[in-house]
Amino acid sequence: MRIIKTIEIEGKAAAALFDTGAFHSYVLRKYLKGKKNRLVPVKRPYEVSLGGKTFVVKAEAIVNGKIEGLDFNAMVVPIDSLGRADGHELEAIIGAITMEGWEITVNPKEGSLGLEGLKRREFTDF
């Protein structure tokens, strides 16, 4: 399931695809400019297939954002281009790891997101 919403990433508006079929989250590199201290080299690079292309992930980054005014942070894979979906030029993909961590759910019937975890800001991990 997937939904496209405008969110904030590092204070800038971004068209984000919320995709439960994507494991990782991805953000265009332009949102990470001046944020080099947030780039973390991965110890052992790995391959990811995205949009019919395969590339090697050599670094990840931590970003801060807002969804409907609610703060979140996420570990993301920096990427040069994400392409288009449903008529939108994508700037981010919010994948399953981020959605699970913040208890974000998708309601494709209504085209909405469940943001109870972001609103509550309390989590039980064990």
Where are the alpha helices (H) located in the chain, listed in sequence order? 96-101, 116-120
Q: What's the confidence (pLDDT) of residue 24?
A: 95
In whole angstroms, how far apart are CA 26 and each of 77, 81, 126?
Answer: 5, 10, 28
pTM (two decimals): 0.90
Q: Which domains does the chain have, with CATH numbers?
A: 2-120 (2.40.70.10)
Q: Which tens digit of pLDDT belongs to each residue from 1-46?
A: 679 999 999 999 999 999 999 999 999 999 988 755 578 999 999 9
- Compute the distance between CA of residue 72 and CA of residue 43 in angstroms, rounded to an integer: 25
Q: Which tens digit of pLDDT belongs to each residue from 56-109?
A: 999 999 999 999 999 999 999 999 999 888 888 999 999 999 999 999 999 988
